[in-house]
A and B are shown apart, each in its own frame.
Chain A
Amino acid sequence: MLYYNFKYELKILLRSRWIQLISILLLVLFTFASFNGKQRIEKKKADISKAQETVQASDKKMVAILDSIEQGMDVSISRWKRPSRPIAIGNYHPRVAAMEPNNVGFLAVGQSDVFTHYVMPTVSGDDLALNYTELTSPIQLLFGSFDLMFVIVYLLPLLIIAFSYNVLSEEKERGSLRLLASQPISIHKWVLQKLALRLFWMSLIITVVSVIAFGINDVVFSISFLSFLGLVFCYMLFWFCLAFAINMSVGKSARNALSLLGLWIVFVLLLPSVISQLGDVFFRIPPRTEMIHEMRELKAEAIKKTG
């Protein structure tokens, strides 16, 4: 049965233009998302190198001033800002502490848009571990980004649902199931094979498209690429299994589609927010206002002590 299913499923998918449609759709989505990711990464790198350049430029000036000081010349800088004092260097000529983006950072924005990726810490001042958020438009944070992970987590399951919701119900509704069921085969096995074949072709298309996406970002042959493919494959497997269960248990195409959609809403939209809210219920982060208050009291005491 597998040989025949394989041969004819491919023919049917090609003739009904499914494979072409999925390929084009995935290609467009993946390349758009990966270009987006690439731009973000480039900007981060540019920010860091710009900062390093400014430090280099200001260092040159500082060295020149030090030179003048050593030669006993007069400089028009206030005493406490002179680079001959180490604290002055610490406060007025800070270094760049940077977190270079990972080479597969283009995959997901994650929380990187909330936090800074580089700082120039000065010696005195508040602990930087207190506040390290980036100056991003909160609307951007609210909407999120069109990154590759968005395509995979949100959009890919929908594609899979569209591709697999009516494998059995279509046969029933078209009428060809009667003939099929009168053959000495297990329908269970038949549906399984059809879905497995669709999973196979989709995986193939995704692999090709991923190569392109990773290629745009100049990372192809690496463990990250393989782990990415593995992850996506497992995720696809989950959704195909769900589709298989629904195909075998529910009846009409419309019902199947709606059930699968309902499951998508539950798994992708609802469950994450419910879990995160549960996390908040059981392990509540104490409000920062409490921390502020404690800090303030300690500071006040410290000031009183030192007079």
Chain B
Amino acid sequence: MIKKTIIKETKELFRDGRIKISGIIVLLLLGVSVWISNNQYKRSNEEFKEAKIEERSVWENQGEKNPHSAAHYGTYVFKAKHPLSLLDQGVDKYTGTSIFLEAHKRNEAQYSDVADQTGLARFGELSPDFILLFIIPLLIILIGYNSFTKEREMGTMDLLKSQGVTFWKMILGKWIAIFLPVLLITTILFVIAGTLLSTIEGYTMFNWSSLGLLLLVYLFYYAVFTNIVLFVSQRVKKSGISLVVLLGIWIISCLAAPKAASDFAELKHPYPTRQEFSSAILKAKKEGLDGHNPWNKEAKRLEKEVLSQYGVDSLHQLPFNFDAYRMQKGEEYGTTVYQKYYTSLKSQFEKQADTYSTIAIISPFLPTRFLSMGIARTDYHSHWDFADAAENHRIDFQKFLNNNFAKNSKYGEWNYLANADTWKNLPKFHYQPLKLVSVLKQQKLSIIALLVWVVLTTILLFIFKPKN
């Protein structure tokens, strides 16, 4: 009986002109968005490759130079695009793609795409995630809003009941009939994306299991919507009302809730302004962490310690360049300051993330969005991971330069020039994206929220029988 319902529903759907048209339009949009996204991905990859090579060559061709000058000249590291960004751009557009590593300073990622675009870009992009998150739920609403109400309005509901149809079988049949085309479209999209990605040479390995998980997330999201659509259709009297209610739900979940949530999160756990942040760091560097133990005092203490350690009276007698050594220690001291402030910034972000998780109660869109971005490694967590990795590299980078300076010169020898081959020995920056397991750990709350949505709406659907 369930099979018969599925067949009948599917036939009705295919014969309905507007569903055919909308289906074709959705497929068209998906095709266009994948094509655009693919081009962008390829282009970003090339830019990344080129930038990396060029930067490295500039760095290696500095010629003879004092290591500390080289430290100030600094170097850039660039963020590669993860293959799954083809499907979900996440916040990539809004975060910078290059970080400048220099002495004494930790920099923010610079040059986000959005800063170079017009206000129109804020409306969103025709990307696959836009279609997957916004348009396909609309398609589900379009297909299913009158699933029950049409039977009532046509009068066939009474006929069906008099034939002894069980309620849950009817629901299951209709559910599958609605979900099947959506499942098909989404799976085809993902398979195409997967094929494209496995043929492009990206900088990070493409992984079918991540892709599969991403597909699963979206299927759960669509399951929630299918449940809601059928539930509303079954409870409401007229098709018109069902459509309005479902559209209202779509608007609230996908448009209004994220915006309200972001305003609320920012209100509760605001970020400092850039100026505030950098001023605070400056102050801490000058006066020491929490105002105690400023560097100039610490430096003097270090001097005494080293002198006594080596058993000499003056810095000139040390077997290495103390200036360089002191600079390195100063650098390490500086990084603790940066660490403190960046950690506090990150904790604000974590608090905001928790706020989003709590607001997930009013919208299934939120956990899906976060999960999708997380798996595609295009969320803010991934960006932090990259930024932290860059900072670690910067620390190593400074150490490398300062050690070179310390070992190969004497105290006071500020005109020491390292030879031109030195720069080639600096290890290259390799960034490994977060492992899927750690992403899932980070996204614990979103996973739970999404599952709760699926379970609750399913229960709702099968438990509440209509009055007639």
Task: Mark A residues whose CB is within 8 Å of B.
Answer: 36, 39, 43, 47, 50-51, 54, 110-111, 114-116, 118-120, 130-146, 150, 154-155, 158, 162, 166, 253-255, 257-258, 261-262, 265, 269-270, 272-277, 279-280, 285, 287-289, 292-293, 296-297, 299-300, 303-304
Q: Are A285 and B116 in contact (CB under 8 A)?
A: yes
- Say which residue of B78, B126, B138 sits within 8 Å of A289 (CB atoms): B78
Q: A258-B142, A261-B247 are in contact. Are A293 and B51 (CB under 8 A)?
A: yes
- Is the CB of B1 closer than 8 A to any CB of chain A? no
- A270, B123: Cα distance in complex, Å: 9
- Is the CB of B94 closer than 8 A to any CB of chain A? yes
Nearest-CB distance from A58 to chain B (Å)? 10
Q: A297-B58, A304-B63 are in contact. Are A258 and B259 (CB under 8 A)?
A: no
- B-chain residues with CB within 8 Å of residue A43 when the two chains form the complex: 270
- B-chain residues with CB within 8 Å of residue A154 when the two chains form the complex: 255
- Say which residue of B124, B256, B273 sits within 8 Å of A273 (CB atoms): B124
Nearest-CB distance from B84 to chain A (Å)? 16
Q: Are B126 and A273 in contact (CB under 8 A)?
A: yes
- A-chain residues with CB within 8 Å of residue B259 when the two chains form the complex: 143-146, 150
Q: A116-B273, A261-B247 are in contact. Are A289 and B51 (CB under 8 A)?
A: yes
Q: What are 7 inter-chain pairs, A to B, with CB distance below 8 A?
A: A114-B112, A115-B115, A131-B110, A135-B272, A140-B266, A261-B138, A274-B126
User: Which of B165-173, B236-244, B331-339 forms part of the interface with chain A?
Assistant: B236-244
Ranked 6 nearest A-B pairs via Cβ: A289-B51, A272-B123, A138-B94, A138-B91, A288-B111, A146-B259
Nearest-CB distance from A246 to chain B (Å)? 13
- A289, B8: Cα distance in complex, Å: 57
- Is the CB of B356 closer than 8 A to any CB of chain A? yes
Nearest-CB distance from A136 to chain B (Å)? 6
- Say which residue of B50, B121, B273 sits within 8 Å of A47 (CB atoms): B273
Q: Are B18 and A114 in contact (CB under 8 A)?
A: no
Q: Are A293 and B273 in contact (CB under 8 A)?
A: no
Q: Are B274 and A116 in contact (CB under 8 A)?
A: yes
The residue in chain A whose Cβ has the minimal distance to the Cβ of B46 is: A287
Nearest-CB distance from A253 to chain B (Å)? 6
- Say which residue of A130, A158, A275, A300 sits within 8 Å of B120 (CB atoms): A275
Task: Mark B residues whose CB is within 8 Å of A.
Answer: 18, 22, 29, 36, 47-48, 50-51, 54-55, 58, 61-63, 65, 69, 73, 76, 78, 90-91, 94-98, 108, 110-112, 114-126, 130, 134-135, 138, 142, 146, 239-240, 243-244, 247, 251, 255-256, 258-263, 265-267, 270-277, 279, 345, 349, 352, 356, 379-380, 383
- B-chain residues with CB within 8 Å of residue A145 when the two chains form the complex: 259, 262-263
Q: Are A293 and B55 in contact (CB under 8 A)?
A: yes
Q: Are A299 and B272 in contact (CB under 8 A)?
A: no
Q: Are B251 and A257 in contact (CB under 8 A)?
A: no
The residue in chain A whose Cβ has the minimal distance to the Cβ of B274 is: A135
Nearest-CB distance from B330 to chain A (Å)? 14
Q: Are B134 and A279 in contact (CB under 8 A)?
A: no
Q: Are A289 and B110 in contact (CB under 8 A)?
A: no
- B-chain residues with CB within 8 Å of residue A258 when the two chains form the complex: 18, 142
Q: Are A141 and B114 in contact (CB under 8 A)?
A: yes
- A274, B126: Cα distance in complex, Å: 7
- Say which residue of B126, B244, B267, B352 sits within 8 Å of A277 (CB atoms): B126
The residue in chain B whose Cβ has the minimal distance to the Cβ of A276 is: B120
- A293, B53: Cα distance in complex, Å: 10
Q: Are B47 and A114 in contact (CB under 8 A)?
A: no
- A285, B116: Cα distance in complex, Å: 7
Q: Are B349 and A133 in contact (CB under 8 A)?
A: no
Nearest-CB distance from A23 to chain B (Å)? 17
